[in-house]
Each structure stands twice: as C-alpha cells, then as structure tokens.
Structure 1
C-alpha cells in the first residue's frame, strides 16, 4: 500500500522511556495484563484493514473501568499516545497503533452486567461481542438489533466507536439508535456517565457525539443498550434482476412507496458467484443482481407487505422471486450474505469501501462504479445495505503487486469521491480511520473540519487518543 497511510512521527521522549513505562504499567495492572515482548505485540500491529502495520509501545489489557482510568491517568501525565482497541475488526485502520502508543485493549472486559427486561435494556462491558448480547436475551424473547457482518467477533465498544450498522439497520437503525448510555473514561482518567435507561436525558446530546467518535474522545468501558422484542416471524426473499441498475431502481421505489422492510441487501453478479461458491445458499447464478429483502410480523402481515414489494419488483422486470420456505432456507440466505467478505478473501485480496449515497442516486453510482473498475482494470464485487444506500464495493487486487495495489487505492478513492458528489458521504459504518482520513477534505470545508477538530480538542487537548486517525495530518492545530 502507498505512503498515504502515514502516521504522526513517534514521540522520542516516549520511546526513550519505554522500559520505565512497561515497568510502571506492569506494577499498575499486574504483569498478566500487559503485553510488551515483540512476539506478543505482533497480533496488535494491525486490524482488519491490514494496509499497514506498526508494533505498539505495549498493550494494556485492563479488567475494570477503574483500571482503564488508572492507565489513562498515567499516560496523560506523561503525554503517552493511546490507541483503544476492541476486537481489531476495523476495516478502516481505526485500531492500528503507532510506535509510541500504548494500545488499551478491552478484551478482558467481556461481561454482561445486567439484563433489565422491564426497561428493555442491557448493561454490558465494552468487550462483549455484538452477537453475545442477542444470545443472552434470546431466551426471554428479545434481541439487540445492530448486526454487522463481523458480529461473531466485533465488540460493543468498537461498534460504538464506529457507529456500526448491519443488515437489519434499515428498520431498526445503527448503533446510535440502539444506545441508551455509556460509561466513558476521559483522557485524563476522569470517569463520566452519559445517558442511561431512560429514553431521554437533559443537556447536550453528548451520547450522540460519543457514538462514532472513533476512540478520540475517550474510552467507553460500559454501555447500556436497547433491547427489542423478537418479531412474530421473519421471511427473507430473493429477487433476481437482469441489471444492477434495475435492482437499484427497485430499491429506491420500494422506499419511496413507504414500505420499510427489516432488511434489503444487494449483490451484483461477481458477489453472487463468490458467496454461492462458499455458502451454497441456492443463489440464482443467471442474474446480474440480487436483492435479499426480509420482512417480519404475522403471516398475514408478511404476505401483504411482500405482495406490495413483488408488485414493485415486477415493474422493474424482476427475473427471479424466491421466498424462503423454512428456517433452514432463511439461515442459508443470510449465511451467504454474512459470509461475503470472508468468501471474497478466499479468492483474492480486496479493499472494502464504505460510501453512502441517496437512494435516488443508487443506480447511477452503481453504473459509475463499474466504469471505474473497467478503467483501472480491476474486478469489483458489490455487496451492501441497499435500503439505506450504504455501499460496500469490494475491489479485488493482488497485494503482492505494488502497481495493482496502487490502482486499487486510486479506484477506491474515486468511488468514495463519487459517493460524496452524489450527495452521500465517505462512510456509513466502517469509520474514517486512516483509510479515508485524507479524503475528509472532499466531504467537508476547512471551516467544517476546524469545528470538528475543536470539539475533539475540547476532550483531548494534546491529541493523545488515536492521534493519527480521522483528520488529515496537515492542517491540524499544533499541540
């Protein structure tokens, strides 16, 4: 990958004190909660972005909010940069460390602290996996709605950092719509509580600000999340089309008609072939694009909703309509979609983009994306959350070929700029990280960026928290 993923120069005053820092933190947490040997640090040198790698100064693995507070207080007093880390599933480089930074991993903070069914809420530590919340409350007839494709591994703290979504965010919203409160440790070790089990709280909406902060305002250690009652039933349906444009237009017309399915996912022909080869889900291979539309409710309600959706699809000359007839068929349909990223990784290296566009622009952006791929001589497989226009073009390339990798980066940048020009934005759920950092100038004016950086600096004046991420390195305030 290119040098555009540069990091801030390491603070030599920190590197020169490495052994003292290691000794102090080992005494503070206990040696079992500190990783500092080179071999042990390797798993923390990158995340799912894997475009660049850096060994951190050390890795702290606190077990409680109080220990996180003590670590941050120690680092703040000594101007040591800090990189928060959940499960390392970030696709934008959000958890990649730098040489002078202490990684604060939350993997040991993995307990569900309370399930409060009367208030439809659960209190969990930040290291709890996304899917573990739904598994814990499923016997009681509830679930936690956000469901990223990485939900088996990704954690609630990381979801909050990136405001993650998932296939079912069309109806239920992304993380910010399902977050009620957090316990957060500020850079100087101060512990604050935002929100709670009540549906609303007074004052500024700091909870809304924290959700999506990419680890730059503090470290969330506990979260109160919203629980939702399971629907009476759910039914995914496959729709096959002769073109991506027809599928995109169908999506826009479904939403314009006031019909909100629980999920609406898109795959083009390359993605269909990749996912079917892996999951054997029964996807039709004779179509150019596929929609997975899931509805829920009573049998009568699902029949009525689907009848309206099928009628709209027929106006766009739908070629295949296949309803799941059993729980096993439904699970297979979703297995194919949820496995898309892993299935693609079996056949090639790839960059996963994360732009969002207005639904009215979906068809045009899909066409332009294909043109970009052709111009760069690259294969692009599209699989994404169609209902909210959150696109995930997978740009396939050879990571061992420097020129091929450079072409993939340039194509990805063009696709993201296209999303912005179409009235969308650079990221829907993966965050900015280092991947999109230098593209922020295409989304925001200098005044916009200055105001955002001022808010960030109000929480962290020295820019110690995840310092090389989100904002372009040039034009930052001096610290």
Structure 2
C-alpha cells in the first residue's frame, strides 16, 4: 500500500487559495520570509527519506517566536495544515510536506540562549545543531549526551520531535531523558511551558508526551537540555567475529554481567567493508561482524570493566579484541560506525533505512530471519545497529530506477518491522513513524489503542491541522491494509468497510 498521502485513507485536506494565503502571510506578519515559486519550493520536497516527495503549498521561515505564533494563528484561522521542519535529516518522512499545507521551517531559530555550567543546563532554540551544544559546553568540561549519527547537521528541535538517541543512548538515554523543559506553540498560537528546571513538576508529564510526537501536538520553540560532565576515562574495544550470531550472543552476555557500556554497536560484513572503504577506520574487513563497546567512567572502574568485557567477548567466540590505543584511534572506530549510512550509500544507488527495536535475546534470531527475507525479496541488506538496546537499522539496498525494486524494498522493510513486533519488539526506536512506518502501526496497535492515540491528538489539535497523516494511521487505512495483510486468519478492524 502506498506510503504517500492518500485522502481516501488518510483524510480529506482543506483547500485554500495559494495566492490569497501568500498575501495574508505577507500583510499580517511583517518581515516573515515566505517561499512560493517552484524553484524555491523544490528543495523542501522531502526530508532524509528522499524517495517520497511532495511540493509544499508555501514555505515560511520565521526568525523569532512571535512570527511562529503569528503563523500558527493565521493557519488556524484560515484552516490550512502546518508541517514543522528542522534540518530535514529525519529518516521516516516525518517532515515530508503536504501539497495543501504550509511547511514551517524552524532552522533560523538557531541561538543558544543561555548556558549555565554550574547548573549543568542550556536553553536553546530548536534550530541549534545537536553537536553545537556540546561544542559550546566543551570549555566547561560538559557535553550533551544524545548523539545521533547526523549530529553534525540535525537540529535539537527535530531531535525532540523524533525522540532521537544515538550510539551512547544505552547508558545515557534518549532525548526525553536529557531535557528538562520545553516551550511549545499550540495550534492556536498559544505559548505553553512544559516541564521545568526542577527535578520534577506537578501534574501530568506533558513534556514526555510531546517528545517524540513528531510535530503533531505543537511546535517546539525552546528546549532546556541537561549537560553532563565529560567522563575522566573512556575506552573503546573492537571485537571481530566469524559469525553474526556469535556477536549477537555476546551483546546479551555483556549486559547479563551487569556491565552498562556507554555504547555497544554492531555491524555486519557488508557494512564493515563499506565503512572501511569510506573512512579507513581500521576495521577487520574479513570479519562477519564486529562489536564496538565503549566503557567510560573513573579510571579504576573502566579498567575493571574492560577486563571483564574482554573475557566475555572471547568466551562468546570473538576472533580478536582490540582496545583503542589512544583518543585518535577511538575516534576512528566511532567514525566508521557513524558514517556507516553514507558509506553504504556509496555501494548502492539507493538504500532504505529501517528502525525496528527488539529484545536483545532475539538479536541472533532476527538477524537470521532478516537474511532469509533478504534472499526471498532478492535485495541485499546491510545491518548496522545499536546492539546494546536492540535498536536495529537494517539498510535495504535497491535501485529506484529499476522497475519494481522500490516496491520490493518497501515490502521487505515492512516484513522486517513486523518481525520485530512478532518477537516482542516495536517498529521504531528513534527515527519515528512519520509516513514510512504508518502501515506497520496497524500491525503493532489494535483499534482501541489507535483510537486512544487519536483522542490525545484531538485534545491538542481538534481539526487535525498539525502534520496530518503522520505517526498515527486512520482506522480506514488500517482496514485497507488488513484486507491485504491477514494475521492468523483474522482481519484487523473487521467492522470497517474495505475499499
């Protein structure tokens, strides 16, 4: 079933006159930059999931919070949908625009408003790049922990929208664990404050609800993040294996020892070779799989944990275990992992990055089944993932210029996500649902659960004007998918009409 917006399945969008809307934006909001010609709009047709594109009706680029409020008030009055966008690095189509909607680009709100090294916090605008926070905090011996692979480009506002993680989220958590306070503009233009700089706040935890909501509940305009002290000692081990299953089993054994690495990453041979050719990280290209295990903390604790991890790795069947000799080699090891996606892009015209998460004990089984699905669909799959928390990133290689390959890649990706659900996991760990996984939401959640999600959405956005068609599927979409996708002989939502 197509992942593009379909009004028959996703809901009818209101129609507004483009030139009248353009005139209102220019007249009502002085100084607001509005893009409206085809040449201006084309660069905003997609986010990081570039295979799906839609040209927005208009693009607006506010420079301050007041302009954001004014845009939201006008859009609410006119009845035009709004899709918020950060840096456009998202991989699930969460910021893909609507042809009948405004694309609200937050990139120009890019200031670090305050950095308090004593309190260990920073107040930043949503357009600030992830890595820029750590760079600003570095002189004080502090840093911002979540580090997605796109951290040199991705914005903190987008990180909040998707609840981004990174290679160190096993120990330090996702975005939701590293923020204290959000300033949000509601669909009506009202300014809301969620959370606080205190350890806890009274009432429901609406900040956590907004984190990962993919711009469906409001537009984030300010974030207060936690800053951590840089650990005094950090060591990375690289272990190579002659079987992927051995590497997967080693992951579970490390965690079972009570060791919580700062990062525990796994790559298979295809991704190892691609990364080594691209970055020259020093990876063993003949290995079937490698693990990168980072231990940080006090020197004596790190030395003890490194020795224990080495024992576990060899016992699990590692052929070789190397400890980074210095900071430069440690950075090279991580550079190979963090550049795995673009590295794979050099060996295939196109790739489709998945984001399922599974229990660690199921890693070996899911990798085996993924290889079988790869054979069945005739498409190569490179595996790169956050092994420590079971967050998998299978990269499906295909050529969109070859008839039928995109459709096969979509189908294979869907099967991998459904496999994750089957073993007790989930369809996303950090990339979000967006449009990419909208159909698999119908597999993971039942009708009552989806209706509950829609009720939460309606409490903040009764007319469904904020990022419609993302994250939560309509019951009609699930009914249509159920007509093609039968589980154990039962159709989902049997009471709904099939088209």
TM norm structure 2: 0.93
- Work out the CA distance in 1 between the residues paired with 2:46 and 2:297: 42
In the TM superposition, residue 27 of structure 1 has moved relative to its aligned partner by 2.8
Match of 2:237 in 1: 237
- Work out the CA distance in 2 between the residues paired with 1:355 and 1:86: 23
In the TM superposition, residue 212 of structure 1 has moved relative to its aligned partner by 0.4
| Contact 1:119/1:197 (8 A) holds in 2 | no
- Work out the CA distance in 1 between the residues paired with 2:311 and 2:323: 14
| Contact 2:3/2:438 (8 A) holds in 1 | no
Instruction: Write the deviation string for residues 197-256 of structure 1: whole angstroms up to 9, x where unpaired.
Output: 111111001011000000000000000001100000211110001111111111011112
Match of 1:180 in 2: 180
- Work out the CA distance in 1 between the residues paired with 2:280 and 2:383: 19
- Work out the CA distance in 2 between the residues paired with 1:29 and 1:326: 54
- Superposition pairs of residues 47-446 of structure 1, within 5 angstroms: 47-348=47-348, 349-446=350-447
| Contact 1:7/1:98 (8 A) holds in 2 | no
In the TM superposition, residue 179 of structure 1 has moved relative to its aligned partner by 1.0
Instruction: Write the deviation string for residues 281-315 of structure 1: whole angstroms up to 9, x where unpaired.
Output: 11001211000001112332222101111111111
In the TM superposition, residue 138 of structure 1 has moved relative to its aligned partner by 0.7
| Gap change, CA 1:29 and 1:203, over 3 Å in 2 | same
The gaps in structure 2 that reach 5 residues or longer are 479-499
Number of matched residues? 475
- Work out the CA distance in 2 between the residues paired with 1:144 and 1:69: 28
- Work out the CA distance in 1 between the residues paired with 2:237 and 2:29: 51
| Contact 2:313/2:321 (8 A) holds in 1 | no
SS in 1 for 2:440: helix
Comparing 213-222 with 438-447, which one deviates more in the overlay? 438-447
The gaps in structure 1 that reach 5 residues or longer are none
| Contact 1:264/1:385 (8 A) holds in 2 | yes
Instruction: Write the deviation string for residues 79-119 of structure 1: whole angstroms up to 9, x where unpaired.
Output: 10000000011101000011111000001100000001222
| Gap change, CA 1:326 and 1:451, over 3 Å in 2 | same
Comparing 326-335 with 295-304, which one deviates more in the overlay? 295-304
SS in 1 for 2:94: coil
Match of 2:3 in 1: 4
- Work out the CA distance in 2 between the residues paired with 1:176 and 1:402: 41
- Work out the CA distance in 2 between the residues paired with 1:117 and 1:167: 24
- Work out the CA distance in 2 between the residues paired with 1:7 and 1:112: 39
- Work out the CA distance in 2 between the residues paired with 1:28 and 1:123: 29
In the TM superposition, residue 12 of structure 1 has moved relative to its aligned partner by 7.6
SS in 2 for 1:356: coil
| Contact 2:94/2:435 (8 A) holds in 1 | yes
| Contact 1:130/1:155 (8 A) holds in 2 | yes
In the TM superposition, residue 11 of structure 1 has moved relative to its aligned partner by 6.6
| Contact 1:11/1:100 (8 A) holds in 2 | no
RMSD of aligned residue pairs (Cα, Å): 1.5
In the TM superposition, residue 191 of structure 1 has moved relative to its aligned partner by 0.5
